[in-house]
Structure 1
Amino acid sequence: MATEIKAPVFPESVADGTIATWHKQPGEAVSRDEVICDIETDKVVLEVVAPADGSISAIIKNEGDTVLSAEVIATFEEGAVSGAAQTQAVQSEEKVEQAAAQTQAGNAPVVERAQVQDQAPAVRKALTETGIAAADVDGTGRGGRITKEDVANHQAKPAAAPATPLSVAVGERIEKRVPMTRLRKRVAERLLAATQQTAMLTTFNEVNMKPIMEMRKQYKDAFEKRHGARLGFMSFFVKACTEALKRYPAVNASIDGDDIIYHGYYDIGVAVSSDRGLVVPVLRDTDRMNYAEVESGIGAYAAKAREGKLSIEEMTGGTFTITNGGTFGSLLSTPILNQPQTAILGMHKIQERPMAVNGQVEILPMMYLALSYDHRMIDGKEAVGFLVTVKELLEEPAKLILDL
């Protein structure tokens, strides 16, 4: 029985999407709930699964095509795979076996096991963009075919040192042009809009991380054993920012046209880097969360970001954002606002520096903090007060725990 396969129903904030990858081609056997297609939107990659056991009979929207909410993208045939598809699969397997036999006999194979033109469109695109030869990749798919994961795994392998120095012709300069993903284009648009449409200003301070580092060292094993989550630094920052937001409501507000919206809740977005670009999943009601819930939530979001499994709902909203450039070694930066929010906190690398303490020089693990804020909404006094509060709470974590 033929069935229409439709794109998911997009939220109001998402106008359309782009077919990113077809994991299955017409005629290939598919199991119920198996992912057959990825649709990339401005925010997330949505998966389309098979409605039943069977095979795709026809693809209506090819990779790179734009699709609307609930638009038909393919037709699906329930039941056994068609005879033509089975014949095609057998022929592919025979070609692979012939190539392997010829290679063992010492002859050059007539058909490579994994020629680029024999691969699915998504695999051909991955091979072209990475510059990897198809013959160099070990295919784990049916009949020895290459999958996108095979290309990614091959790319992740450490490159072997060349036996002889590579020679490049004088004057030869290589360029590669690839289209920008929808997510990266959307991020670029939002960041550019934030710099052009807000009166953005950044204030700085520094925090002594020694108290938190000592507390973490003392309790991290017991914490993980009790809660099943690792005790990191981010939970301290989330809780410190939540308390500071209570004291400075303007930093937790947003601007909508000529109106100011004061939020009576604390939804903190945590910027996470993924292969597709920067995403900001949101921790909801952080004032009601304990440290273990914050750490577990961040860990779950990070795993989803790596796998491209974050939902639109998980990245929608947020009243304040924290970004940690220190993960990559950044010592100081000026983070850009995540509109319509009016402030964002930037964390940075922890670095030992000589500091004056009670007239003595001590070597302390210090971190620079940066608060970028919209000066239309937040005055300098409030911005500096907020950042000083965060600093004080981090340097005396007992105040956070005792709610002082």
Structure 2
Amino acid sequence: MEYIQADEAASRWGVSKRLVQRYCRQGRIAGAEKVGGSWRIPEGAVKPADPRRSRDQQPAGARPPLGTRRLSHLMPLMSTAYAPGTMAAFVSSLAKGTRASIAQAELAYFSGDAERARDVAAPHLKSDDAEARLSACLICAFSNLSLGRINDARFALDGALGSLNSEMGGGTPPEVTAMATFIGNAASALLHLPAPKSVQAAPDLLPLLPPGLRLFACYVKAHRFYLESAYEQSYGIVLGAFAMADALYPIPAIYLHLAAVMSLMALRRTDEARQHVLAAWDIARPDGLIQPFGEHHGLLGGMLEAAIKPAWPDDFKRMIDITYRFSAGWRRVHNPSTADDVADNLTTTEFAVCMLASRDWSNAEIAEHMGFSVNRVKECLSNAFRKLGVSSRKDLAQFMLA
């Protein structure tokens, strides 16, 4: 891990070195360590919020002037730069209030604890704070998919997808439109649903989002291009997002790396795809951010089996457990909404083999990539053909994710 000194942090944050040292003593900078008479601070650490100016301390109904709001309650953990391994400490350092509550729900969700994520986020579903409400909609929608609570997932999803209409009106601040567009796009793209027309018609307000959310919005755009089979464009967006990042925002970075894997596997650039999945895991593993890998398993073309399973078998098993739970709920929303028939009766290994076979990989290529025998590939395909009621590889594509 890279560190900076207190004076360098002070210069970056526009405060005095003495104040930075006070933040360190108070435990408000995640990962800060005292060495001798000075402090060293993780390279990606962010300036702690001033509790005297916290929005949670403002009188009811008070709002910052237009153009000065930082959307600090909109997916705050996703929008924060921090050093891997310090996420829990960062969340614990937040002053009690809405921002801390949403961050706790994010921490639970991305760590694979869907039940806690739902329980923490659900009270905000009817919040007067639009940022907190929209964050809760996104977290609850996807948490409830994993919990098999499909009606609850649909209720939260309707809140996320309908956000732009509900937040629009005369004199609506542009950052409100930006955050509603962000949530609506994220919810629909992750479920492979068309973006709501109101979202499609919304102006491009990406610059109004905080940097971390800007990066996640790039992931959403890359995911859209992948679904349109525009794999080169999708990968180009990922590379552009990393080039514009001014710090490491771990959650968006994980999702961007996984989007790169998706497109690179479609392009049969397996060595590069392996580099990206390992880069995502390097960022995720210190904090246990395992959920994104379970969400994306079916899109990664067997790369978890090839790159993660051999060295981290226990973590791989958790990813697969998440995949089964999440995918079952995902299909119960996606399939009826789109009239698609994404397979719901294949094992994760069978699905990965079929994904590659539908892209004209030979049995030998699949076996080499996934690390097992050609006979096992044949067995997976035979089982899949029987379950899906098809007789040839060309019929598989209609049951795959893309």
- The structure having more radius of gyration, on CA atoms, is 1
TM-score by length of 1: 0.28
Structure that is richer in helix per residue: 2
